[in-house]
Amino acid sequence: MQVKDWIHPADTVRITEHPEEEEEEIQIYMDGRKNDNGVGAGITIFIKGELHQLKYKLRNNCSNNQGEQMTIVKVTEAIENICNRDSRRRIAIIYTNSRVTIQSLKNHRNHKNLIEEIRKKAIELERREWTMKLTRIKAHVGNHGNEIAKKTTKNKEIMYNKIPKSQIVQMKQQSIEMWQTPWEQTTKGSTTKQFFTNIKERLKKRLKLTPNFTAIVTTHGKTKAYLHRFKIIDSPKCPCETVNQTLDHLIYECQRLQRREKPSYAA
């Protein structure tokens, strides 16, 4: 998310953590879940005991935390639509088992898309005289509302498809590994492979690419052997008058290009 889209520092989100469940008219349970079937988000809303359920699907590459955070975004959108009677107390308690989400909302340096979206939605609700209490509950303890939310995480329509940075890093590593195999098997680029046998290590190097550099690592340069091969010059011999002027000769053998030995100084 770009800096211009961040909320103003003065507009903070009030997060009230309660260790136990409270008796309010509007109680919301949610669950984000990632498994072999993909990433889903389920929401259970109790309004005076009346049950409302929502379910969403995220892209398979999304993380479990994104599923949890997406449920909060959808909860803030659903509260005003479902609870539009002025007679109700405008207090909604949202129960989540995601410690990461609560810590991210408290961290003012965290400006990830979904975290900022939750902040914006929460501030909008506060301006409409809503009080949103975000409460963390333990996972896997058999909470009735949370168990219902788990069962509603399955949905076919994808409504969020942003990939987390951690997944992008993993995908990058996987793509490099996949790239390495055909690089080792190909019969082309044999000279280049002598310089760069490992793609991962090559990508770590910061090289200034110039026409001369490219010519050297691909052997498509202006060596006499190369020019003679295409009948551009008459002789492939090196000016040092020993052998043909190939790339290997220039690097390892040519006396004219050998560096002078550094003088040794007595202690």
Summarize pLDDT for 115-136 with one digit per residue, the tens: 888 888 888 888 887 877 787 7
Summarize pLDDT for 171-212 with one digit per residue, the tens: 888 899 999 999 999 999 888 998 999 999 999 998 898 988
Query: What mean pLDDT do residues 89-104 have?
Result: 80
pLDDT (0 to 100) of residue 151:
59
Query: CB-based contacts of 162: which residues, under 8 Å, 6+ apart?
Result: 59, 62, 66, 113
Q: Which amino acid makes up residue 124?
A: E
Confidence band, pLDDT 50/70/90 cuts, at residue 237: very high
Class of domain 3-161: alpha beta
**Domain limits of the chain?**
3-161, 187-257
pLDDT (0 to 100) of residue 103:
85
Summarize pLDDT for 158-169 with one digit per residue, the tens: 455 566 667 777
Give CA separation, 132 vs 56, 94, 95, 135, 146, in Å.
22, 7, 11, 10, 18
Summarize pLDDT for 240-250 with one digit per residue, the tens: 877 999 888 88
Whether pTM > 0.75 for this model: the answer is: no
Give CA separation, 193 vs 33, 184, 198, in Å.
44, 8, 8
**Counting beta carbons within 10 angstroms of the beta carbon of residue 113, is it exposed (0 to 12), middle (13 to 18) or buried (19 or more)?**
middle
